[in-house]
Amino acid sequence: MKEIDKLVFFTGFVFVITIFLAGVAIGWGYSKMLSERTTNEINDLSSKIGLLQAVLERDDQEFCRIFNYLFPRLEESSWRLGERIEYLESQGRIDKDLKNLYLEYLYRDYLLLQTAIDRCNYTSEYIIYFYYNNATDPCEKCYYQGFEISEARSRLRDMGIKLRVYSFDGKLEGLGRYLSETYNITTYPTIIYRGKKYGYLDAGAIVRMIENELRG
Amino acid sequence: MRFSREHVRLFLLGVIFFIILVLILNIAKPVRYFLAIVSFFIVFTISFVFITKLIQKYDLIIRGSGKSYDWRISFVVPVYNERENLRKCIDAILNIDYPKDKYEIVIVDDGSTDITTKKILEEYRNNPHIKIINKQNGGAASAKNVGIHKSTGDIIITIDSDSIIDRDAPARLASYFQDPLVGGVSGSVRVISTGKALNRWQSIEYDIILVYRRILEAFDSVYVTPGGLSAFRKEAIQRVGLFDVNSLTEDQEIAMNLQKHGYKVLASLDAFAYTEVPENLSSLIKQRVRWIRGGIWNRIKHQDLLDLKWGNLFVFGYLLDVLFFIPFSTFFLSLILFLIDHRLWIFRLGLDLLDLIVDHFLVSTFIFWIILLPWQIHMINILRNKANENPVKPLEILDFIGFMILFGWAWFLVWPFVIHKELTQAQNRWETR
C-alpha cells in the first residue's frame, strides 16, 4: 500500500495559512492607514468650513467675499472625500465614528451653503441624496444610484454645470436618522432636488432634470 | 457505483448551471467567495507542497540521468499529415548518440492524405534503420500500438512526428530501465521557440511542468508520459494492454495504467525533445479542450485510483485534478469580478492604485505571486542549465508575470468548449499539439 506524504502536505498548508494571514494583516493595516488619512482629510475640510463659520459670525459682508473665494475651492476635495467614504463603505471598511464625522462635516457644509444662498445670492446646483448601507439588509439600488450620480455629475461638468452632492446615510444612528426624519425619507434611495423628492434616477434622468430646471 | 458518460453529462450540466448562477444572476457572492477561498488554499497549498518537496529532496530531484547503451530500442513514430516537421523528426532520430545496430525506427502512417507527407516517407523507405507501416486512420494510440506490435526492441520510445529528439535523450531514457520495476519514463519535452508571446508562455509552462513532473516522481506519482517523448519497457506496455485507442490523451492513460499494474513511472529532467506548440488561440484552446476531456475520461476509466491505498498518486493523479478545475475557475472568476468591480471604482474615484489590492484576499494572492515568481524562475533555470542554455534574463520576468497572471490562470476559459464538445460528443483523437 502506498502512502500519502502527510508531513509535506501539512507543511505546505502551514505556509499557505501563514501567507494568507500575512495578507490579511497587511490589508487590515492598509485599511487602518486609509481610514486615518480620511479622518485627517475630514478634519482639514472641517477646519476650513469652521473658518467660514467664524467669519460668518463676525461679519456678513466679509463672509460672502470669503465664501465665494474659498467654497468652490473646497468642492473637488470634498467630492473626492465623499467618493472615498462611499468606497470604504462598499468594502465594509469604515467605522461608525468616521462616518459620523464625515456626516457632520457634510451637514455643516450644507448649512453653510444654504446660508450663502440666502445671504450672498450664491448660486449652486445641489442634490441631497439619501441612501443606506447595511450588510445584513443591503440597498442594492443605492449601490447603483451612487454610480449614476457620479456619471451625471461628470456629464454636467462637461456641460459647464457644477453639481454638489450631499450624500447622507439615512439609517446611520445619530445625525443620519435625524436628517432622514427631518426630510421625511421613507424609501431608499431618495434624491431631493429643489425641494422635490425622486426615487432611483439614472444618470440621463438626473441630467435632464437639472437641465430642465435651469432652462426654467 | 461506476461513473458513466451520462454522469459526466449531468455533472457538466451542473457546471453550466453553476456558472450561470454565479455569472449572470450574481446572487451567489458568498458562495463564490467561499469557493474562491477554498480553491485559494488548494492551489497555493499544492504549490508549496511542491516547493517543500523540492527543498527536501533537492539533490535527488535535480540530478541528471545516467546513460545506457545496453538496450535495443525501437522508436515508434505515429504520423498523420505531418508534412515538413516529419523530416526533421526522422533526421533527428537518425542522428542520435546510440549504437546503430541497437535501434530501429518504426514509422506508422495512420492513413495520411497529404501528398508531402507521403513523399517524405518514400524518401526514407530504403533506410535500413526505418520500417514504414501504412494503416487505415484510427488515431494516434492505434498507430502507436501497431508500431509497438511491429517493433523488435526491448525499450519502446514513442515520439510525436512534430518533435525533434536530442542526441543524448535515448541513452538517458534507457538508463532508467536498469530497475526492473520501471515501466515507463517521461521525456523532457520542451518548446521550439518562435518568439511569440503565446509560444513563450507555453515554453515557460512546459519547462515548469518538467520540473513539477520530476517532483511528482519524488512523490511516486508521475501520471503522464507525454506523447512528445516517452520510453516504455515493451514487456510492461504489452502486459497492460498497450495504449487505449479510445482515450483522447492516451499518453496519460498509459502512465496511470502502468502504475495500477505495479510498474514505476519516472520522469527525466534532461532527456530532451523539442516540439511545436499551438501558435494561435484557437488551436491552443482545441489542444487544451482535448487535454481536459482526455483527463476526465481517464479518471473515469481509472476511477479505482480514487482510493487512499494509492497514496500520493491518488492525491495528485486523481483527487487534485478532479477538485482543481471548478474551484480554480471560481477563484479566477472571483478575481476577475473583483478587479472589474474595483476598476469601475478606480475610474470613478481616481483613488490610489493601492486601493486595487487592498482587499485582504487579493493582498494574500499577490504575496503568493511574488513568492512564486522566483520559484518559477528557479525551476526554469534548473532546466536551462541542463540544456546548456543561458539563465532567465531580467526582461524575461515580464513573460513570467504574463504567464502567471494571464496564461496560467486562464484554463477555466476553456471549460465552455469542453462542455460543448462533451455534450456534442465530438471526437478529436489526432492532435499532438
- Which range, of A146-150, B159-163, B271-275, averages the lowest pLDDT? A146-150
Q: CA nearest B175: which of B231, B228, B229? A: B231
Of the candidates B47, B311, B358, the beta carbon closest to that of A31 is on B358
Q: Touching check for B364 and chain A: CB below 8 Å?
A: yes
As a whole number of Å, the CA-based R_g of chain A is 22
3-state helix, strand, coil in chain B (%, to 5): 60, 10, 30
Interface test with A, best of B29, B38, B48, B259 (most A CBs within 10 A): B48
Q: What is the largest CA-CA distance in chain B?
A: 74
What residues in B contact A87, CB-CB < 8 Å?
Answer: 345, 349, 351, 355
Q: B255 is written with which cell numbers?
A: 502512465
- Kindly state the average pLDDT of the residues B404-419: 72
Please tell me the distance from the alpha carbon of residue B411 to that of residue A14, in angstroms, as a whole number: 27
DSSP B64: P
The per-residue pLDDT for range B222-269, each reduced to its tens digit, is 999 999 999 999 999 999 999 999 898 999 999 999 999 999 999 999
Neighbour count for residue A77 (Cβ, 10 Å): 13
Cβ contacts of B24 within 8 Å, gap of 6 or more:
none
- Asked if the model's pLDDT at residue B354 lies above 50, the reply is no
- Under 8 Å CB pairs connecting chains A and B tally to 107
Q: What is the pLDDT of residue B433?
A: 47
Q: Touching check for B344 and chain A: CB below 8 Å?
A: yes
Phi, psi of B184 (to 5 degrees): -150, 150
Q: CA nearest A165: which of A157, A188, A173? A: A157
β-strand pairing of A163-169 with A125-131 = parallel
Please tell me the distance from the alpha carbon of residue A23 to that of residue A38, in angstroms, as a whole number: 22
Task: Assign B355 a pLDDT band (cuts: 50, 70, 90).
Answer: very low
Min Cα distance B324 → chain A (Å) is 16
For residues B23-53, b (16+ Cβ closer than 10 Å) or e, as one string? eeeeeeeeebbebbbebbbbbbbbbbbbbbb
Of the candidates B56, B354, B361, the beta carbon closest to that of A8 is on B56
Q: What is the pLDDT of residue B74?
A: 96
Q: What is the pLDDT of residue B263?
A: 95
Domains observed in chain A: 1-120 (1.20.58), 124-216 (3.40.30.10)
Domains observed in chain B: 10-61+322-424 (no CATH), 69-287 (3.90.550.10)
- Asked if the model's pLDDT at residue B342 lies above 70, the reply is no
Q: B429 is written with which cell numbers?
A: 483523437
Cβ contacts of B139 within 8 Å, gap of 6 or more:
B110, B245, B429, B430
Cβ contacts of B367 within 8 Å, gap of 6 or more:
A19, A22, A23, A26
What residues in B contact A147, CB-CB < 8 Å?
Answer: 344, 348
Phi, psi of B186 (to 5 degrees): -85, 140
Its pTM stands at 0.73
Instruction: Give me the residues paired with residue B272 across strands.
Output: B188
Q: Do B363 and A31 touch (CB under 8 A)?
A: no
- Kindly state the average pLDDT of the residues B30-38: 64
Q: Touching check for B348 and chain A: CB below 8 Å?
A: yes
Q: A10 is written with which cell numbers?
A: 501539512
The chain-wide mean pLDDT, for chain B, equals 83
Min Cα distance B350 → chain A (Å) is 8
Please tell me the distance from the alpha carbon of residue B171 to that of residue B176, in angstroms, as a whole number: 9
Of the candidates A1, A34, A87, the beta carbon closest to that of B345 is on A87
What residues in B contact A20, CB-CB < 8 Å?
Answer: 40-41, 44, 364
- Asked if the model's pLDDT at residue B52 lies above 50, the reply is yes
Using CB atoms within 10 A of its CB, is residue A86 exposed (0-12), middle (13-18) or buried (19+)?
buried
Q: Do A15 and B315 touch (CB under 8 A)?
A: no
Contact (CB, 8 A) for B31 and B22 = yes
The per-residue pLDDT for range A129-185, each reduced to its tens digit, is 999 877 677 787 887 888 888 888 888 888 888 888 898 889 888 888 999 999 999
Of the candidates B47, B315, B363, the beta carbon closest to that of A26 is on B363
Q: What is the pLDDT of residue B112?
A: 86
Using the structure block, give the residue that is written with the C-alpha cell 514513442: B158
- Kindly state the average pLDDT of the residues B412-422: 77
β-strand pairing of B182-191 with B163-165 = unpaired
Is it true that the peptide bond before B327 is cis, omega within 30 degrees of 0? no
Q: What is the pLDDT of residue B350?
A: 42
Q: Do B315 and A9 touch (CB under 8 A)?
A: yes
- Asked if the model's pLDDT at residue A21 lies above 70, the reply is yes
Q: A63 is written with which cell numbers?
A: 463672509
Instruction: Give me the residues paired with residue B342 across strands.
Output: none
Please tell me the distance from the alpha carbon of residue B258 to that of residue A20, in angstroms, as a whole number: 39
When comparing pLDDT for B350 and B388, which is higher?
B388
What residues in B contact A91, CB-CB < 8 Å?
Answer: 358-359
Q: CA nearest B322: which of B223, B433, B251? A: B223
Neighbour count for residue B17 (Cβ, 10 Å): 10
Is it true that the peptide bond before B391 is cis, omega within 30 degrees of 0? no
- Asked if the model's pLDDT at residue B431 lies above 60, the reply is no
Cβ contacts of A168 within 8 Å, gap of 6 or more:
A103, A106, A107, A128, A129, A130, A131, A175, A176, A179, A180
For residues B127-158, b (16+ Cβ closer than 10 Å) or e, as one string? eeebbbbeeeebbbbbbbbbbbeebebbbbbb
Q: What is the pLDDT of residue B253?
A: 94
- Kindly state the average pLDDT of the residues B125-143: 91
Of the candidates B53, B359, B363, the beta carbon closest to that of A8 is on B53
Q: CA nearest B190: which of B204, B179, B175, B176? A: B204
Contact (CB, 8 A) for B317 and B272 = no
Q: Which amino acid is at B4?
A: S
Alpha helices in B350-359 (DSSP H): none
DSSP B393-429: PGGGHHHHHHIIIIITTGGGGGHHHHHHHHHHT----
Cα angle A26, A32, A37 (rounded to 5 degrees) comes to: 125
Neighbour count for residue B100 (Cβ, 10 Å): 9
The per-residue pLDDT for range B294-337, each reduced to its tens digit, is 888 888 888 888 888 888 888 888 777 766 665 566 656 666 66
Q: Do A12 and B358 touch (CB under 8 A)?
A: no
Please tell me the distance from the alpha carbon of residue B272 to that of residue B97, in angstroms, as a whole number: 13
Percent of chain A with pLDDT over 70: 97
Q: B242 is written with which cell numbers?
A: 498497450
Which run of H or E residues covers position B266? strand B264-275
Q: Which amino acid is at A18?
A: T
The three-state secondary structure class of B82 is coil
Q: CA nearest B48: which of A37, A152, A80, A16? A: A16
- Kindly state the average pLDDT of the residues B37-46: 78
Of the candidates B315, B348, B351, the beta carbon closest to that of A4 is on B315
Q: What is the largest CA-CA distance in chain A?
A: 93
When comparing pLDDT for B92 and B418, which is higher?
B92
Contact (CB, 8 A) for A210 and A138 = no
Q: Which amino acid is at A185?
A: I
